[in-house]
């Protein structure tokens, strides 16, 4: 390296190193530029994905302190555990789903938790022993053949839950999507309040125990690949019964998240996605250009609900239960906070913000609180005031950076005039 | 509709005394809701903003009122009537002042800067502000419920037949009615009210006519905050409250404002009374009612039905913009 042979004088060194930087980095940059555009966007993504996918394998080693990695990270003390990571992924999935409704289409939904609840309870109905009256098995794994209740393969249940939730979304959407902006927000908030209460009181609906009241439905079956595939190629028979179940849940959740992100990105660039964005930008103009408002909005609702339902079902399978106390208005706001913080409409922004916020929610804030109370004279229960902190984040973002951490490329392009096609979430930063 | 009338009649015939008692409870709750709903309606009327933080301002005011009563003025049950009345009036004024200050500060900090942007931005900001105010109350008062000592004697103010109305409930009605009349007078007949109506119609045009738009909006928030303060004290005199009481009550009050026709002062009070009665009847009557487990679902069901079928509300006028 040129910098090693540089003279001691700071000024000269500065000049030499800047020259070296210019030469070397230019070379690297040129080489980088020469790569096809596809590879340029693919390589970092693959590296990142590899790092994330192998996370359960090295997290424990890192947390114990390995090479240069400190055994205790400042502020947050340690990396999130694998089970926290599963929850993070589930919440990111929901945030990506909500992003379709709020970010792409500009429909403020304050009741997204309702979809989460519907998904979780669909899983509860279709993959547990809740309905003792019947015994129905379809591809269930690791469960006694004679067990009462409906036991459908969880993979299938995920899809069914998504579909049921999408239908719920359409049912909620049809009467309400005619309303404009803030009224819509209030109506969705109303549904977000009603559905948890129905769930809570649903243990004696006309004498029928639909939701088992405040005790919730448990245990819910776990996904798995069954005995056949298990003995043939060594795939896990049933996640919950495997000894490394958290890792299995982690990888499955990651796969689901990748599918969600892929769908979300492809949808954004589709005809439907462009219609959503047109509606978001100017409803009247969009209608004048022939975009069918109601149908387009209802699609946004249904698809956003679909992902919420899948995430809810998966989460309940991971926790092996669906409980009414999980569904609070606060969760809706929490998800909304992820979308806002990440940048409305920006998938990658929402993923990053969702990961950060759900991490803070699960482990981070309490760890920070521990750190504060131990290493500083401040005594403050950070976790207790988490929603105050989120509120502060929301307001500050609205005041100072309403486009979010990683603004949607389309919005940036609109501002910067020089419109390019193709990739470029990060690419145009120096342009 | 017919079913509801039949239900009410059946309950009335069955136990008239209980029915009227429940009716009076509904009237009191309705009045408190009305004061909060007025705050929503005032702000919505001028900014088209659902001020989510309003319910939490109300709760914070109630909690502050409990502190003023207990720790500042040292009011106790045995004090003389004059001391009590004077003390409570002083508490009322202080709480209203506190609410007004808080509400105006919220507008100044969180809404003014984003007013020029989309309405959604301001709405999201309001949601965030709601959590901040709620957590301020949490920091000061922790999760405990607060209540006030029974300062107003529970003695009956009057008794008709078997039905009696205690003083503390009379006081709620006695405060709400003059406040509503004052407010109506203020908005209809004063210069400031005229400025408010003008700003509500068209901010730019109002500014061109020499109206200080910022000050008018601030004034509206001051009014709304004062009402929230009064409501907080009155609510405290009836129920326990803690930091998150305001959230749900705020939603109910907002429902009331929408039901009556948002932006319409009389409508807000009418809607609040209706919601108050519905809640009281649902929770208090014995026959054929779903019970308190379902109150929230019923109230929000009404909200959704109103917005879907008659978005302008009971007394509102259909605006060209629709809902």
pLDDT digits over A340-350, tens only?
Answer: 888 888 898 99
Contact B131 A336 (CB under 8 A): no
Contact A147, A104 (CB under 8 A): no
Dig out the tokens for B222 from the structure: 């001051």
Q: pLDDT, tens digit, for every residue of A243-292?
A: 777 888 888 899 999 999 999 999 998 999 999 999 888 888 999 999 99
Minimal Cα–Cα distance from B89 to chain A, Å?
33
Please tell me the predicted confidence (pLDDT) of residue A222.
78
Backbone torsions φ then ψ of B321, nearest 5 degrees: -70, -15
Q: pLDDT, tens digit, for every residue of B2-60?
A: 677 777 777 777 777 777 888 888 888 899 999 999 999 999 888 888 888 999 999 99
Question: Cα separations (Å) of A243 from A144, A248, A249, B199?
Answer: 19, 10, 12, 66
Residue B253 CA to residue B250 CA, distance in Å, equals: 5
Pairing outcome for strands B163-166 and B156-160: antiparallel
Of the listed ranges A264-268, B89-93, B144-148, B231-235, the one predicted with least confidence: B144-148
Between these two residues, B67 and B291, which has the higher pLDDT value? B67
* Burial zone of B232 (CB within 10 Å; 0-12 exposed, 13-18 middle, 19+ buried): buried
Question: For A156-191, b where at least 16 C-beta lie within 10 A, e where not — what string?
Answer: ebbebbbbbbbebbeebbeebbbbebbbbbbbbbbb
Residue B250 CA to residue B58 CA, distance in Å, equals: 8
Mean pLDDT of B91-108: 93
Dig out the tokens for A280 from the structure: 């978001």
Nearest residue of B to residue A386, measured between CA atoms: B135
* Burial zone of A243 (CB within 10 Å; 0-12 exposed, 13-18 middle, 19+ buried): exposed
Minimal Cα–Cα distance from A100 to chain B, Å?
16
User: Mean pLDDT of all residues in chain B?
Assistant: 83
Taking the CA atoms of residue A334, residue A335, residue A341 and residue A345 in that order, the dihedral angle to the nearest 10 degrees is: -160
Residue B59 CA to residue B245 CA, distance in Å, equals: 6
The answer, yes or no, to whether residue B322 has pLDDT greater than 70, is: no
Contact A391 B120 (CB under 8 A): no
The answer, yes or no, to whether residue A311 has pLDDT greater than 70, is: yes
Mean pLDDT of B142-158: 72
- DSSP letter for each residue of A382-407: TGGGHHHHHHHHHHHHHHH-TT-SS-
Residue B301 CA to residue A176 CA, distance in Å, equals: 12
The answer, yes or no, to whether residue A209 has pLDDT greater than 50, is: yes
Dig out the tokens for A227 from the structure: 């005995």
Between these two residues, A128 and A269, which has the higher pLDDT value? A269
Residue matched to tokens 């105010």: B133
ipTM, two decimals: 0.83
pTM: 0.82
Greatest C-alpha distance within chain B: 62
Please tell me the predicted confidence (pLDDT) of residue B156.
64
The answer, yes or no, to whether residue A225 has pLDDT greater than 80, is: no
Q: Give ∠ CA B100-B101-B105 in degrees, rounded to 5.
A: 115
Contact B322 A180 (CB under 8 A): yes
Please tell me the predicted confidence (pLDDT) of residue A427.
37
Question: For A360-394, b where at least 16 C-beta lie within 10 A, e where not — what string?
Answer: bbbbbbbbbbebbeeeeeeeeebbbbbbbbbbbbb
Residue matched to tokens 């607060």: B146
Annotation: CATH topology of A41-62+69-430:
ABC transporter involved in vitamin B12 uptake, BtuC (1.10.3470)
User: Mean pLDDT of all residues in chain A?
Assistant: 79
Please tell me the predicted confidence (pLDDT) of residue A422.
40
Dig out the tokens for A78 from the structure: 């340690």
Residue matched to tokens 């008794």: B159
Of the listed ranges A48-62, A198-212, A360-374, B43-57, the one predicted with least confidence: A198-212
CB distance from A200 to chain B under 8 Å?
Answer: yes
Between these two residues, A229 and A220, which has the higher pLDDT value? A220
Residue matched to tokens 């009716």: B23
Please tell me the predicted confidence (pLDDT) of residue B55.
92
Please tell me the predicted confidence (pLDDT) of residue A6.
45
* Burial zone of B157 (CB within 10 Å; 0-12 exposed, 13-18 middle, 19+ buried): middle
Contact A398 B114 (CB under 8 A): yes
Distance of CA A58 to the CA centre of its chain: 23
Cβ contacts of B251 on chain A, cutoff 8 Å: 189, 193
Residue matched to tokens 């899983």: A123
Q: What percent of chain A has pLDDT over 90?
A: 19
Of the listed ranges A14-23, A151-160, A317-326, the one predicted with least confidence: A14-23
Please tell me the predicted confidence (pLDDT) of residue A428.
38
Please tell me the predicted confidence (pLDDT) of residue A4.
47
Contact B296 A393 (CB under 8 A): no
* 3-class SS string, A305-323: HHHHHHHHHHHHHHHCCEC
DSSP A139: S
Residue B234 CA to residue B171 CA, distance in Å, equals: 8
Q: What percent of chain B has pLDDT over 90?
A: 24
Please tell me the predicted confidence (pLDDT) of residue A164.
94
Compute and round to an integer the Cα radius of gyration of chain A. Answer: 24
DSSP B164: E
- How many other CB atoms are found less than 10 A from the CB of residue A215? 11
Please tell me the predicted confidence (pLDDT) of residue A200.
82
The answer, yes or no, to whether residue B99 has pLDDT greater than 90, is: yes
Please tell me the predicted confidence (pLDDT) of residue A15.
65
Q: Name A69's bridge partners.
A: A66
Cα distance between the two ends of chain B: 25
Q: Name B156's bridge partners.
A: B166
Cβ contacts of B258 on chain A, cutoff 8 Å: 186
Residue B118 CA to residue B111 CA, distance in Å, equals: 11
Contact B123, A181 (CB under 8 A): yes
The answer, yes or no, to whether residue A183 has pLDDT greater than 80, is: no
Annotation: CATH topology of B11-309:
ABC transporter involved in vitamin B12 uptake, BtuC (1.10.3470)
Contact A103, A350 (CB under 8 A): yes
Nearest residue of A to residue B310, measured between CA atoms: A179
Please tell me the predicted confidence (pLDDT) of residue A93.
94
Pairing outcome for strands A149-152 and A135-138: parallel
Could you give the count of Cα atoms lying within 13 Å of A266 in the half-sphere of its Cβ?
A: 7
Closest listed residue to residue A165, CA positions, set A185, A195, A140: A195
Distance of CA A140 to the CA centre of its chain: 27
Contact A170, A299 (CB under 8 A): no
Cβ neighbors of B178 (< 8 A, separation 6 or more) are none
Cβ contacts of A392 on chain B, cutoff 8 Å: 128, 132
Nearest residue of B to residue A344, measured between CA atoms: B121
Mean pLDDT of A386-404: 85
Pairing outcome for strands A149-152 and A127-128: antiparallel
Cβ contacts of A182 on chain B, cutoff 8 Å: 48-50, 119-120, 123
3 state DSSP class of A420: coil
Residue A428 CA to residue B36 CA, distance in Å, equals: 49
Please tell me the predicted confidence (pLDDT) of residue A418.
43
Q: pLDDT, tens digit, for every residue of A32-83?
A: 778 777 777 788 888 888 888 888 777 777 777 666 666 666 666 777 888 8
Contact A180 B321 (CB under 8 A): yes
Contact A187 B125 (CB under 8 A): no
The answer, yes or no, to whether residue B178 has pLDDT greater than 90, is: no
Strands (E), chain B: 156-160, 163-166
Cβ neighbors of A207 (< 8 A, separation 6 or more) are none
pLDDT band at B286 (very low <50, low <70, confident <90, very high): low
Please tell me the predicted confidence (pLDDT) of residue A430.
38
Question: Cα separations (Å) of B152 from B6, B49, B61, B67, B235?
Answer: 37, 37, 19, 17, 13
Dig out the tokens for A15 from the structure: 């000049």
């Amino acid at each position: 390296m040129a910098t090693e042979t540089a003279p001691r004088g700071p000024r000269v060194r500065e000049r030499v190193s800047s020259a070296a930087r210019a030469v070397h980095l230019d070379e690297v940059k040129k080489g980088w530029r020469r790569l096809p555009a596809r590879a340029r966007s693919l390589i970092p993504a693959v590296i990142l994905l590899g790092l994330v996918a192998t996370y359960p394998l090295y997290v424990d080693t890192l947390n114990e302190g390995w090479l240069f990695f400190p055994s205790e990270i400042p502020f947050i003390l340690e990396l999130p555990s694998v089970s926290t990571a599963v929850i993070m992924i589930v919440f990111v999935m929901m945030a990506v789903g909500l992003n379709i409704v709020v970010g792409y289409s500009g429909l403020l939904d304050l009741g997204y938790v309702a979809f989460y609840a519907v998904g979780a309870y669909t899983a509860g109905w279709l993959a547990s022993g809740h309905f003792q009256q019947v015994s129905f098995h379809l591809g269930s794994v690791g469960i006694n053949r004679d067990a009462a209740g409906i036991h459908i393969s969880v993979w299938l249940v995920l899809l069914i839950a998504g579909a049921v939730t999408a239908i719920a979304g359409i049912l909620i959407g049809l009467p309400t999507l005619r309303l404009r902006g803030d009224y819509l927000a209030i109506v969705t908030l109303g549904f977000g309040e009603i559905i948890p209460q129905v769930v809570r009181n649903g243990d004696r609906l006309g004498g029928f125990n639909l939701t088992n009241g405040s005790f919730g439905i448990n245990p819910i079956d776990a996904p798995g690949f069954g005995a056949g595939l298990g003995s043939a190629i060594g795939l896990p028979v049933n996640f919950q019964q495997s000894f490394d179940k958290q890792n299995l849940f982690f990888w499955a959740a990651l796969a689901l998240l990748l599918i969600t992100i892929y769908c979300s990105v492809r949808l954004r660039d589709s005809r439907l996605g462009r219609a959503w964005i047109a509606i978001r930008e100017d409803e009247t103009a969009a209608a004048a250009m022939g975009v069918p408002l109601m149908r387009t909005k209802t699609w946004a609702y249904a698809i956003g609900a679909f992902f919420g339902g899948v995430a809810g079902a998966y989460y309940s399978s991971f926790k092996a239960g669906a409980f009414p106390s999980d569904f609070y208005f606060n969760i809706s706001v929490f998800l909304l906070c992820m979308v806002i913080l990440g940048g409305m409409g920006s998938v990658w922004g929402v993923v990053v913000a969702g990961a950060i916020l759900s991490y803070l929610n699960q482990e981070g804030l309490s760890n920070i609180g521990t750190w504060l109370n131990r290493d500083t004279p401040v005594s403050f229960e950070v976790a207790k005031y988490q929603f105050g902190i989120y509120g502060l984040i929301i307001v500050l973002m609205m005041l100072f950076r309403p486009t979010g951490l990683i603004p949607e490329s389309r919005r940036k392009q609109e501002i910067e005039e020089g419109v390019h096609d193709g990739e470029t979430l990060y690419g145009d930063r120096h342009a | 509709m017919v079913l509801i009338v039949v239900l009410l009649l059946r309950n009335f015939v069955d136990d008239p005394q209980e029915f009227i008692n429940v009716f009076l409870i509904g009237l009191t709750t309705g009045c408190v809701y009305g004061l909060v709903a007025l705050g929503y309606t005032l702000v919505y009327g001028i900014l088209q903003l659902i001020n989510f933080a309003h319910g939490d301002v109300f709760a914070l005011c109630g909690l502050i009122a409990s502190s003023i009563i207990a720790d500042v003025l040292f009011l106790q049950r045995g004090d003389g009537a004059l001391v009590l009345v004077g003390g409570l009036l002083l508490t009322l004024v202080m709480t209203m002042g506190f609410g007004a200050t808080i509400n105006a500060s919220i507008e100044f900090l969180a809404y003014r800067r984003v007013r020029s942007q989309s309405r959604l931005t301001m709405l999201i900001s309001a949601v965030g502000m709601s959590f901040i105010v709620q957590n301020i109350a949490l920091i000061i008062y922790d999760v405990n419920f607060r209540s006030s000592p029974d300062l107003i004697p529970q003695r009956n103010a009057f008794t008709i037949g078997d039905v009696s109305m205690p003083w503390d409930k009379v006081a709620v009605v006695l405060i709400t009615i003059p406040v509503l009349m004052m407010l109506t007078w203020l908005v209809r007949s004063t210069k400031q009210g005229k400025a408010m109506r003008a700003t509500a119609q068209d901010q730019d045009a109002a500014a061109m006519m020499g109206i200080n738009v910022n000050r008018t909006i601030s004034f509206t928030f001051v009014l709304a905050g004062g009402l929230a303060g009064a409501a907080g004290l009155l609510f405290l005199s009836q129920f326990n409250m803690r930091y998150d009481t305001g959230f749900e009550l705020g939603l109910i009050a907002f429902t009331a404002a929408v039901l009556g026709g948002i932006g319409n002062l009389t409508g807000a009070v009418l809607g609040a009374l209706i919601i108050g009665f519905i809640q009281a009847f649902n929770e208090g009557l014995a026959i054929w009612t779903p019970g308190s487990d379902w109150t929230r679902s019923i109230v929000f069901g009404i909200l959704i039905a109103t917005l879907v079928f008659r978005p302008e509300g009971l007394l509102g006028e259909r605006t060209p913009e629709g809902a």
